[in-house]
Amino acid sequence: MTDRLPHTLRSDARDNRERILDAARAVFAAEGLTVPMREIARRAGVGPATLYRRYPTKEMLVTEAFTDQMRACQSIVDEGLADPDPWHGFCLVIEKICELHARDRGFTAAFMSTFPHAMDFAAIRAYSLTSVAELARRAKDAGRLRPDFVLDDLILMLMANSGIHASSPAARVAASRRFAALTLQAFHTSPASSPLPPAPRLVPGVSTHRRNPTGETDG
């Protein structure tokens, strides 16, 4: 067997890989993405070299560590989309995603593309966003979501949600929950609603804008 390609990891290597991923997930959730690589290695009980061998860059590690979170995020959106009441589905999506982000400091940053380019799950992100756009369209048609809502508003609220800090994870989740509720109040149609300032352009690819009434330069 001279030409066996290392498509399969040795048992100890596979074991270490798991431990690294577990440690990374735990510490990313608690501290965010800024933790030193060595700290993750330490918690995983491996040397730095082992960590770097498996994941030469932090971006790779992050991508791998958050793939399932990303999938969870997508299935939340799918659930919302499956809801017979689009506004109800929309609310669920907002609430659950906010909670997801509140529980995991790192995931927020990863989702927001703290790593600006080439995040592997950019595709999933884009797919989720278009799904939400569809859900939003339906909720608008049902007359429950304000007509001037655009997808960038969602990004905006997600960014805003990521700004919420608190002493404990529990407190952060509680704050985020209230924030989500307030956000939904803002998105809800209401006789008292007044026109909004122009929407920011935050997500270049997708768009719910059919038309852009203002000629404003956007950044």
Partner DNA sequence: ACAGTAACGGACGCTGCCGTCCGTTTAGCT
Partner DNA sequence: AGCTAAACGGACGGCAGCGTCCGTTACTGT
Contact with a second copy (CB under 8 A) among 38, 79, 160, 205: 160
Binding mask 117-156 for a second copy (x = CB under 8 A): ------------------------------------x--x
Minimum distance from CB of 114 to a second copy (Å)? 10
Asked if 171 interacts with a second copy (CB under 8 A), we say yes
Three-class HEC string of the chain: CCCCCCCCCCHHHHHHHHHHHHHHHHHHHHHCCCCCHHHHHHHHCCCHHHHHHHCCCHHHHHHHHCHHHHHHHHHHHHHHHHCCCHHHHHHHHHHHHHHHHHHCHHHHHHHCCCCCCCCCCHHHHHHHHHHHHHHHHHHHHCCCECCCCCHHHHHHHHHHHHCCCCCCHHHHHHHHHHHHHHHHHHHECCCCCCCCCCCCCCCCCCCCCCCCCCCCCCC
92 lines the binding site for a second copy (CB under 8 A):
no
Q: If binding is defined by CB under 7 A, does position 11 make contact with DNA?
A: yes
Counting contacts by CB under 7 A, is residue 23 touching DNA? no
Number of residues that bind DNA (CB under 7 A): 25
49 binds, among DNA, a second copy, none (CB under 5 to 8 A by kind): DNA
Residue 57 touching DNA (CB under 7 A):
yes
Taking the C-alpha atoms of residue 161 and residue 112, their distance in angstroms, rounded to an integer, is 11
In this structure, which amino acid lies at residue 40? I
What is the closest distance, in whole angstroms, from the C-beta atom of residue 170 to DNA in the complex?
Answer: 26
Q: Taking CB within 5 to 8 Å according to partner kind, which of a second copy, DNA, none is near residue 113? A: none
Tell me which of 193, 205, 209, 212 binds a second copy, using CB under 8 A.
Answer: 193
Q: Which of residues 26-85 bind a second copy (CB under 8 A)?
A: none
When CB distances are held under 5 to 8 angstroms depending on the partner's kind, the choice from DNA, a second copy, none that residue 54 binds is: DNA
Contact residues toward a second copy (CB under 8 A) are 112, 153, 156-157, 159-168, 170-171, 174-175, 177-179, 181-183, 185-194, 196-202, 216, 218-219
